[in-house]
Chains A and B, each alone.
Chain A
């Protein structure tokens, strides 16, 4: 059996004294893809922030490529190959689009040309400042900026939230292209369960900070009753 890219062992984490996540364990193989689903406020974003090193870990271990990174600060995790697309996008408002892309770029197959190919809109707006972009463009930039660090694992925290349906489709298509051509693994936190499940191989569902379901994405997608029970969402015809 090959070593997983990422594994969490019984992780208990939160902010200060407040515990948000408890007993979280899972493995993600290289090139694996994982959807993290659940209702609002169950700890999905906290899981992403915990992987990035922004929460306090009270118990458990995070192992990345065989090395314990539980106590490592965020910039070391990023340099070790974890890319982060934050929920609030967090574009650098005073940097141009191109500067946003290059400021933290690291060598690899994702270059300026490659991300402009994935998001042609960003190429058109390369001289604009970060605060002059629409919500959809900001989201494209947030994803492209993370890709420019050439991560082995990309964390996407609700990348489709608050966007118009047409933009959601465009971005979902881009994420699909990205995962098809990319070498890396990714974890996708998403309210749009149908899209998230169709983009990933495996899924887990959180409920009050604990994992209440984990299994193949296709299986969950094919079981609307289970989905409804787990996250209370009735899917449109998938």
Chain B
């Protein structure tokens, strides 16, 4: 399925995964200026939780997804309480060193427990195969993936745009000092937001296995993509992250389909061009 439409479809499915894995980082980075390079380790954790529950415990695929979310969220709360909170005022270099260290620990831990091979995952029959529509074949799993990601996006946008919790998050992203001065407990708000964002990454990681595969290098490989999404989308912007993730997903696949020799470089060219035109990101305000 190398037609333009087919490529677009795959690119959008891929972009949805990137969105789920990056939106949490965008919001928490925008709020606390905390550089969490370990964000994709939470995605990887979600992936391994799903693999373990399916292969060792015989759980159905969909039943593992909430557990992947909760496990990643819980792990992030522990790390936030134990390590990250001590580094909020430490500057970017110590934050990067701390979190990249956690990335390497997570990679080593995953390799120790699961080995370095790709994890096999057997999707249920009804998620395999493809739908034939308008002369094109659409992989069922990717359709389901897009539907789930869209539903989560709607839920996320409604939460952030139409609830008081969301208004507090936006206020804290916009001006942390003033938010505190009005009585908003930014630290607690951040911890909750951080847990939700990490949970979404875990869910993204679980959904990604069937499309991107899963091995211990996942935490580092997709960190690059997630950082590009955050940089291009603009800090703290959900709409920006969404647009950037779609752009990156489609551009990356288009590059690999049409100009394979140059394909893996194309996204970096796209990112550089975007950053030069709009240094604060697509929808960024700073």
Kindly list chain A residues whose C-beta atoms are within 8 Å of the C-beta of B173.
Answer: 94
- B170 partner, pick from A79, A84, A95, A102, beta carbons under 8 A: A95
The reply to whether B175 and A75 form a contact with Cβ atoms under 8 Å apart is no
Q: Are A93 and B180 in contact (CB under 8 A)?
A: no
Please, how many residues of chain B have a CB less than 8 angstroms from a CB on the other chain? Answer: 19
Q: A95–B172 Cα gap in the complex (Å)? A: 11
Contact B170 A104 (CB under 8 A): no
Determine, out of B3-11, B70-78, B182-190, B258-266, the stretch whose residues face the partner at the interface.
B182-190
Q: Is B81 an interface residue (CB 8 A)?
A: no
What's the least CB distance linking A62 to chain B, in Å?
15
> Does A78 interact with chain B (Cβ within 8 Å)?
yes
CB–CB A78/B181 < 8 A: yes
Provide the bound-state CA to CA distance between A79 and B185, in Å. Answer: 10
B164 lies within 8 A of A92 (CB):
no
Q: Would A103 and B174 be within 8 Å (CB), given that A94-B285, A95-B167 are in contact?
A: no
**B29 CB-CB contact with A under 8 Å:** no
Residue on B nearest A81 in the bound complex, by CB: B183
Measured between alpha carbons, how far is A149 from B177 in the docked complex, in Å?
16
CB distance from A50 to the nearest CB of B (A): 13
Q: Is B179 an interface residue (CB 8 A)?
A: yes
Find out whether the CB atom of B181 lies under 8 angstroms from the CB atom of A92. Answer: no
- Judging by beta carbons under 8 Å apart, are A103 and B182 in contact? yes
- Interface residues of B, dominant DSSP: helix
**Which listed residue, A54, A75, A86, A90, touches B185 by the CB 8 Å rule?**
A75
Closest CB-CB distance, A80 to chain B, in whole Å? 9
- A52 proximal to B (CB < 8 A): yes
Which residues on A sit within 8 Å (CB–CB) of B67? none
The reply to whether the CB of A182 lies closer than 8 angstroms to some CB of chain B is: no
Q: Which of A73, A104, A106 contacts B179 (CB 8 A)?
A: A104
A131 vs B147: C-alpha distance when bound (angstroms): 35
Would you give the shortest CB distance from B36 to chain A, in whole angstroms?
22
Is the C-beta of A145 less than 8 angstroms from some C-beta in chain B? yes
A94-B285, A95-B167, A95-B170 in contact; A103/B184 too (CB < 8 A)? Answer: yes
Q: Say yes or no: A90 contacts B178, CB within 8 Å.
A: yes
* Any A CB within 8 A of the CB of B256: no
Q: Contacts of A224 on B, CB cut-off 8 Å? A: none
Interface pair A149/B170, CB less than 8 Å apart: no
Q: Which of A75, A86, A93, A99 has the most CB of B within 10 A?
A: A75
B171 within 8 A of A: yes
Which A residues lie within 8 Å of B178 (CB)?
A: 86, 90, 92
B183 touches A149 (CB 8 A): yes
Residues of chain A within 8 A of B180, CB atoms compared: 73-75, 78
Given contacts A94-B285, A95-B174, contact A103 B181 (CB under 8 A): no
A74 touches B181 (CB 8 A): yes
Q: Is the CB of A79 within 8 A of B285?
A: no
Residue A37 interfacial (CB < 8 Å) = no
Task: Give the residues in chain A near B182, CB-CB below 8 Å.
Answer: 75, 78, 84, 103-104, 145-146, 149
Q: Are B183 and A90 in contact (CB under 8 A)?
A: no
* Given A95-B170, A99-B167; A52-B175 close (CB under 8 Å): no
The residue in A73, A74, A93, A102 that gathers the most chain B C-beta atoms within 10 A of its C-beta is A74
12 pairs of residues in contact across A and B, judged by CB atoms under 8 Å? A54-B177, A74-B181, A75-B186, A84-B182, A90-B177, A92-B170, A92-B178, A93-B174, A94-B173, A94-B174, A103-B168, A149-B183
